[in-house]
């Protein structure tokens, strides 16, 4: 076998090995993105509510713990966004999410205010919240839930510092909550919307 043929075969193997490394790197990045955002991100399922990009209604409510006034909507004095998590004491998924939400409250405090919301008997909610030992505002307001047409729990609503609704969706995991933050960063209604735009752009090429 001539030297030229051996060189060609060697080069082919180098190309195959390089392509394999690139493929493995791509698969790894897809896995990282999947783990971070979940398969689809938080699923936005509400209809005829405040639309993404619109100013959210302003509410001034009293926290069930301590009675401190909680302002939701409107331009925030400190420029921070507000994540409203709609939960219920009898929702098992809500309870399982509380450790992740506690971690978010601690890690993202520089740009995010976390508010929990529900409705019903105040004494029941106060006992529930005290048992979970989470230091975050907790408001009860049927009108707040109606404003965003909350039908399933746990549901997250993200409002930016200007009082504009930037993301919302059903949140069954930490990854779904993170997807709301990512949607706000990307300037899209949801991660599903982002993927749809990417697919349409690819199809149009």
**Torsions phi, psi for 33 (to 5 deg):** -65, -40
Average pLDDT, the chain: 84
Query: DSSP letters of 153-165?
Result: SSEEEEE-TTSBE
pLDDT per residue over 48-94, tens digit each? 578 999 999 999 999 998 889 999 999 999 999 999 999 999 999 99
Instruction: Give the SS3 label for residue 87.
Output: coil
pLDDT per residue over 132-159, tens digit each? 887 899 999 999 999 999 989 999 999 9
Rounded Cα distance, 12 and 6, in Å: 10
Task: Give pLDDT, residue 86.
Answer: 97
Q: Are strands 112-118 and 81-86 parallel, antiparallel or unpaired?
A: parallel
Q: In the chain, what are the helix, strand and coil shares in percent, each to the nearest 5?
A: 45, 20, 35
pLDDT over threshold 80, residue 47: no
Question: Please, which pLDDT band fits residue 40 given cuts at 50, 70 and 90?
Answer: low
The better pLDDT of the pair 19, 157 is held by 157
Residue 176 parent element (H or E): helix 174-186
Quick check: 138 and 125 in contact, CB under 8 A?
yes
- Ranking 26-40, 139-153, 154-168 by mean pLDDT, the lowest is 26-40
C-alpha dihedral sign at 170, 174, 176, 177: positive
- Tell me what percent of the residues of the chain surpass a pLDDT of 70: 80
A 10 A CB-CB count for 53 gives: 10
- Copy the structure tokens of residue 120: 């019903």
End-to-end Cα distance, the chain: 45
Task: Give pLDDT, residue 130.
Answer: 86
Task: Give pLDDT, residue 18.
Answer: 67
**Torsions phi, psi for 164 (to 5 deg):** -100, 135
pLDDT over threshold 60, residue 29: no
């Amino acid at each position: 076998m001539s030297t030229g043929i051996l060189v060609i075969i060697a080069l082919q193997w180098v190309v195959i090995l390089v392509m394999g490394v690139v493929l493995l790197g791509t698969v790894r990045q897809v896995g990282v993105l999947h783990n971070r955002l979940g398969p689809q991100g938080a699923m936005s399922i509400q209809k005829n509510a405040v639309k993404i990009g619109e100013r959210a209604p302003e509410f001034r409510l009293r926290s069930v713990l301590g009675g401190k006034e909680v302002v939701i909507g409107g331009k925030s004095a400190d420029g921070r966004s507000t994540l409203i998590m709609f939960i219920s004491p009898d929702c098992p998924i809500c309870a399982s999410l509380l450790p992740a939400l506690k971690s978010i409250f601690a890690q993202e405090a520089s740009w995010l205010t976390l508010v929990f919301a529900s409705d019903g008997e105040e004494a029941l909610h106060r006992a529930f919240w005290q048992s979970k030992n989470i230091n975050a505002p907790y408001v009860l307001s049927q009108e707040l839930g109606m404003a965003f047409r909350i039908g399933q729990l746990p549901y997250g609503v993200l409002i930016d510092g200007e009082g504009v609704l930037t993301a919302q969706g059903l949140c069954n995991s930490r990854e779904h909550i993170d997807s709301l933050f990512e949607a706000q960063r990307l300037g899209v209604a949801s991660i599903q919307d982002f993927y749809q735009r990417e697919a349409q752009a690819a199809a149009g090429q």
